[in-house]
Amino acid sequence: MSALASFVASAAEHFVNLVPWVPDTFHHPHRRQPLSWAASVPPASWNQPSKPPWFPHPSPITPPPADDIANSTAACTNDGIISLTKTFVKIEGAVIITVESAVRVISGTFGEGPSDRAYPRNATNLPEVCAVIVRVANNTASDDLASRSSYRFGLFLPTAADWNGRFLAVGNGGQSGGINWPEMGQGPHYGFATVSTDTGHSSNDATDSLMWALDRPDRVFDWGYRAVRGSVAVAKQIVRGYYHGGKPRADADGGKKMWSYWSGCSTGGRQGLKAIQDDPDSFDGALVGAPAWDTRHLFPWIARIGRTNLRDDGSVILNAMDPAIMAPLAARIQLLCDAADGVADGIISAPERCSAINMTRLACTAGTPGCLTLEQARVVRTVWDDYFVSGDDQGGLRLVNNGFEVGSELQWYVFLGGTAPSSFDMQFERYFLYNDTAWSWREFSSRVVLDSERIDPGHATADRYDISKFRARGGKLLMYHGLADGVVPSRSSTLYYDRTLGAMGGREQVDGFLRHFQVPGMQHCAFTPATVSAPWMFAGAGQATWLQLLSPALSVRPALPKYDYWLTLYRCPVSSRGIIFCIRCTSSSAHYDCATSNITVSFKLMAWTEKGEAPDSINAVAYNPDWSVYCTGKLCPYPRRAKLTGTNPDVASSWTCGGRRAGRPGDD
């Protein structure tokens, strides 16, 4: 176990509830219950695109001239903020906008505490902001429950002097309902007007069931896409007015472009993809991590692997929460697959070259310590393998969902727990799909897949691969996914990338606006398995917030000079391996993330979006417990991979982005 992994293991309880989608990898006395999505066999209207005329659509924002920025007079009060939405309400006459609160936070903390079930930890160490909470609802009196809508969002507005002229929306986790205040708290430090929605309900995946969605298709639709769309639209209207002396302006009345960005991982990644597919004008740049984009296939697959892990009597075959089983398995896989990329560095960087494992090598005589039974080995193979059902146009098989990569085993406890059956594995079918609380894992069959494809609860699936409208407006999409992810299979992101290439004419048509980075050794959105010290920190969505909770001292930032929104931490430790790593980052030295900033990957996305500087690589970091650098690594845009060209594999400069990754047996 690396030193940092040991430290994280003891500290994880302090951040486990922050992002419900991310499983408590280092702390699991009780089974988590993330992912699952409720409703019944819904009304016929669920099978049609649900975009009622009252629903607001986001639009680009025109920023104010410099003199307006310096002299903003919009009041940070309920009345002052609501006045900025009057033009919007007049245009979108069916929308009711209510400002629940608007308060000036000089410095310190803001959030809703325990009343925000999903994110009970407040944003801390804030600079001066106007903190706003808004509710958006439609005033139709329709008997069609699915057409109703009500959700809230939070908005941090920096002072006029500190605003950088940019808008940032941050995503959510799992099916939890709440405003993501902790993640929002990163944006104002760099001058962003920052927003997050509650997705239309209040819940915590770690402690609550998905009963919030039972008989409530309106909530499922809001969670699926409507809450993000409407929150972004109304928040932009407020920003448009707030920095124009309190006077709303039309988009076309001049001024230079104001850049608009999305940042989210897991469900947050799905939300970002959904936004740029359905509303390409929503954002100029999108940072999308480990997106759970294919909801109508992902969750039947989860139920399927859960069912595979149960005997007919309901007993568990492979208890993925038992370290006596999983630790030896992970160690054996690491031994078999580590050097598949040509470098034995303790990190599985080329899982696609190690997929044809002879499962009998993982099994041994029953009762032998550290070995799997043949029955357990068959479950492992099922979890690794892609899931197919019959029914393609040629009468053969078609892909439902990708399996996990080798190297992800230490995160399988999320789905393959020690009790049977896991409610996690059934909630999608019970609440999102069939509206039947008695639905049992024994009822699972390929019919569940077909029903899920037909209904697509909440129309949450983000599978529109032709995003040429987003490209045409100059949009940039930067995706990433950890190869050791045991929550959302990393191959699903590769699948999305490949299908986008197919829909848009190949890599030459896509490479100019879409880059996808695979992260060897990283689990779901962040961190690394306990036995691996892979560089994983590059300021991806949510990563800075989690580190801030692990080490609150790192969240103390110096005052930001005007418009110097890249300034962050202040110390420059030396790692145990002798690598100098300066945690004071500026726009001219943004090579690594600074533990609690969102510099590296966000800076690269903005440089690409605003200056046309495409990201040819990303540097990542692994830390020691004292937050000095353990090692650094280089991430390459898929399908290129990092090749060791120097002498020290622990330093990013020893790696270059070389040839294409090898395919799996049978791949073209």
Confidence of residue 273 (pLDDT cuts 50, 70, 90): very high
Query: Does residue 552 register a pLDDT over 80?
Result: no
Higher pLDDT, 122 or 364: 122
| Domain residue spans of the chain | 44-257, 297-459
Query: Does residue 355 register a pLDDT over 50?
Result: yes
Query: Does residue 589 register a pLDDT over 80?
Result: no
> What does the pLDDT read at residue 378?
94
Contact 261, 190 (CB under 8 A): no
Tokens 């799996």 found at: 664
> What does the pLDDT read at residue 545?
84
Reduced to 3 states (helix: H, G, I; strand: E, B; else coil), residue 147 is helix
> What does the pLDDT read at residue 623?
79
Query: Does residue 316 register a pLDDT over 70?
Result: yes
> What does the pLDDT read at residue 421?
61
Rounded to whole angstroms, how far apart are CA atoms 113 and 101? 15
Rounded to whole angstroms, how far apart are CA atoms 227 and 136? 9
Per-residue CA distances from 347 to 85, 161, 175, 339, 530 (Å): 52, 46, 31, 8, 12
- Amino acid code (one letter) for 32: R
Confidence of residue 46 (pLDDT cuts 50, 70, 90): very low
Could you tell me what percent of the chain has a pLDDT over 70?
73
Q: Which of 285, 288, 254 is nearest to 271 (CA)?
A: 288
Section 634-656 average pLDDT: 93
**Range with the poorest average pLDDT among 171-175, 183-187, 203-207, 452-456:** 203-207
Query: Does residue 248 register a pLDDT over 60?
Result: no
Query: Does residue 87 register a pLDDT over 80?
Result: no
Q: Pick the most confident of 197-206, 265-274, 327-336, 622-631.
A: 265-274
Rounded to whole angstroms, how far apart are CA atoms 267 and 271? 6
Burial of 393 (0-12, 13-18, 19+ CB in 10 A): exposed
Count Cα atoms within 13 angstroms, Cβ side, for 574: 2
Strands 193-197 and 387-390: unpaired
Residues 293-311 have pLDDT tens digits of: 999 999 999 999 999 999 9
Contact 332, 372 (CB under 8 A): no
Strands 476-482 and 514-519: parallel
Contact 423, 353 (CB under 8 A): no
> What does the pLDDT read at residue 89?
67
Rounded to whole angstroms, how far apart are CA atoms 615 and 605? 7
Higher pLDDT, 300 or 553: 300
Residues 56-70 have pLDDT tens digits of: 555 555 444 444 444
> What does the pLDDT read at residue 121?
85
Residues 604-613 have pLDDT tens digits of: 999 999 999 9
> What does the pLDDT read at residue 535?
92
- pLDDT mean across residues, the chain: 78
The distance of Cα 124 from the centroid of its chain, to the nearest Å, equals 21
Rounded to whole angstroms, how far apart are CA atoms 263 and 612? 19
Confidence of residue 371 (pLDDT cuts 50, 70, 90): confident
Residues 149-164 have pLDDT tens digits of: 899 999 999 999 999 9
Section 333-347 average pLDDT: 91
Torsion angle, CA of 235/236/238/241, rounded to 10 degrees?
A: 170
Higher pLDDT, 1 or 325: 325
Rounded to whole angstroms, how far apart are CA atoms 184 and 179? 9
- 440-460 burial by CB neighbour count: b if 16+ within 10 A, else e? ebeebeeebbebbeebbbbbb
